[in-house]
Amino acid sequence: MLSKLKNEGCETPTQAKQQGLILAVLFICSGLFLFGCDKTCECNYTPTEPTNEAVIEVTSPDSTVVAWLGHPLRFAWTSENVLGSVKIYYSRNDGDTWPFTITENAYNEGEYFWTVDAPLTRSGRIRVQSAGEPPAVGESPSSFVIQTYVWAPEVPSRDFTVNVLASNGVDLFAVGSGGTINQRSSQTGEWVIQNCATTRPLNDIHFADSLVGWVCGGSGVLRRTVDGGQTWLTTSSQISFEIRAIHCYDSLTAIAAVAGLRRTSDAGESWDQVVEFVGETINRLYFYDSMHAFAVGEDGLIAKSVDGGLTWEIKTSPFEAATYKDIHSPDGLTYYAVASEGQIAKSDDGGETWHPLNLLHAPVLSSIRSMAPLEILVTTADSRLLHSVDGGDTWVYYSVDEGHYFNTLLMETDGSGWFAGTGNAVFHLDIEDSE
């Protein structure tokens, strides 16, 4: 009986001793866990202290941003543990001083739009600061530029209406009423009248290179130069209609807008009909490169060529009755076309499809240039320039002078340019970024 009970649950002295040792070991280990390690322990656990530090980090604008006077500029920042609103300041000396207060009560939403009205600078920065406690300050990570357009009048050699400006890569040419060709020397800045043996108004001029150029005008006037505009040769063309636009490939080959589009390969001796747009007059030819070209004109005409002007396809215009006067692209993908009715059409797919821009109460528009996909500059019939840096969502109007109908706009690769129109008006356009 005793043997049976012992086997079913009674402890022997040896078993009790073993269990005591086990309990002692467990007690020691639990003590180490509860009360910490001595010098010989290697613990990897480090407790994290809670923090309530307020932090603001400005992410934009920085050195990648160019801000324009009068245009909206976006500020962006992130924050932690910032209570209430924030204050925003502006510095024009890399943050050495902060004399300009933009706002003292902006919602801490991480974004703020400012219509730029501060002094011009190449060293602009912003500071976002908490309005209350706990304090926090963040500044632009690098400096940005604030700039604007400025212009100055030029005085050509003859009082006339400038219809088109063009460059041969060396000198500037202004052509227009009375058969006038005015050439401005890039070396001296002087204007010289070049004789082209006509008094008919000249509508367009284009250069294939620094030496070869063509000019066209009323009653079929065609002239070409092979010496950089010093002399102009008369063609024996039989065209008697007004030629509104021209594009030349070389001294022998050109395409002209007359009763549709016609092409010559023998310096204008003969012309072949390329395409006839029935009832639609072409006002401007534009070649983005040697293959991609556009023709725009009356009754909403937008036509595209992808083979250098040999064949053309009409695209659907968002303004069916528009009189398109000009078209331009900065990259071959984004295109803008302006109409005299105060309308602008835009394409984001290389001119395949077009949609209207929202431009309320716009004046007569005449010429357009796009320096970047989102930046647009337009001339008007009421002595103004229209400027957008957000793809046409917002606009700034520059009042240039009084009494001029600006017909033409030409931009250089360095951001400067020229615009001109009636009343012998030729203006040089430049960018200013410091006062």
In the predicted model, what is the mean pLDDT of residues 191-199? Answer: 94
**Final residue of a structural domain among 148, 178, 204:** 148
Asked if the model's pLDDT at residue 55 lies above 60, the reply is: yes
Asked if residue 286 and residue 177 are part of one domain, the reply reads yes
Asked if residue 227 and residue 90 are part of one domain, the reply reads no
Lowest mean pLDDT across 10-14, 154-158, 168-172? 10-14
Asked if residue 173 and residue 72 are part of one domain, the reply reads no
Per-residue pLDDT of 101-137, as tens digits, reads 999 999 999 999 999 998 999 999 999 999 998 999 9
Asked if the model's pLDDT at residue 286 lies above 80, the reply is: yes
Task: Give the chain's radius of gyration (CA, Å).
Answer: 36
Asked if the model's pLDDT at residue 164 lies above 70, the reply is: yes
**Final residue of a structural domain among 130, 148, 166:** 148
- Residue 205 phi/psi, 5-degree rounding, is -145, 140
How many residues are recorded in the chain?
A: 435
CB 354 within 8 A of CB 345: yes
- Residue-by-residue DSSP string for 127-194: EEEESSSSP-EEE-SS-EEEEEEEEEEE--SS---EEEEEE-SSSEEEEEGGG-EEEE-TTT--EEEE
Asked if residue 421 and residue 398 are part of one domain, the reply reads yes
Q: What is the number of alpha carbons within 13 Å of residue 221 lying toward its C-beta? A: 23
Asked if the model's pLDDT at residue 88 lies above 50, the reply is: yes
Asked if residue 197 and residue 103 are part of one domain, the reply reads no
Specify the pTM.
0.84
CB 177 within 8 A of CB 141: no
Asked if residue 157 and residue 97 are part of one domain, the reply reads no
Higher pLDDT, 15 or 101: 101
Q: Is residue 17 part of a domain?
A: no
**What does the buried/exposed string (b/e) look like for 167-179 if buried means 16 or more CB atoms within 10 Å of the residue's CB?**
bbeebbbbbbbeb
Asked if the model's pLDDT at residue 16 lies above 60, the reply is: no
**pLDDT tier at 51 (50, 70, 90 boundaries)?**
low
Q: Is residue 228 part of a domain?
A: yes
In the predicted model, what is the mean pLDDT of residues 262-287? Answer: 91
Q: What is the number of alpha carbons within 13 Å of residue 246 lying toward its C-beta? A: 32
Per-residue pLDDT of 339-383, as tens digits, reads 999 999 999 999 999 999 988 889 999 999 999 999 999 999 999
**pLDDT tier at 26 (50, 70, 90 boundaries)?**
very low
The CATH number linked to 65 is: 2.60.40.10
**Final residue of a structural domain among 148, 168, 199:** 148
Count H helices, E strands: the chain? 2, 36
* 215: enclosing H helix or E strand: strand 213-217
> Can you give the pLDDT at residue 248?
97
Asked if residue 295 and residue 202 are part of one domain, the reply reads yes
Q: Is residue 318 part of a domain?
A: yes
> Can you give the pLDDT at residue 29?
42
Asked if residue 212 and residue 84 are part of one domain, the reply reads no
Asked if residue 230 and residue 100 are part of one domain, the reply reads no
Among 138, 111, 69, which Cα is nearest to 434's?
A: 69
Q: Is residue 416 part of a domain?
A: yes
Asked if residue 171 and residue 144 are part of one domain, the reply reads no
The rounded mean pLDDT for the chain is: 89
Q: Is residue 25 part of a domain?
A: no
The CATH number linked to 425 is: 2.130.10.10
Lowest mean pLDDT across 58-67, 135-144, 197-206, 227-236? 227-236
Full residue range of the structural domain in which residue 367 is found: 150-432
Query: How many domains are contained in the chain?
Result: 2
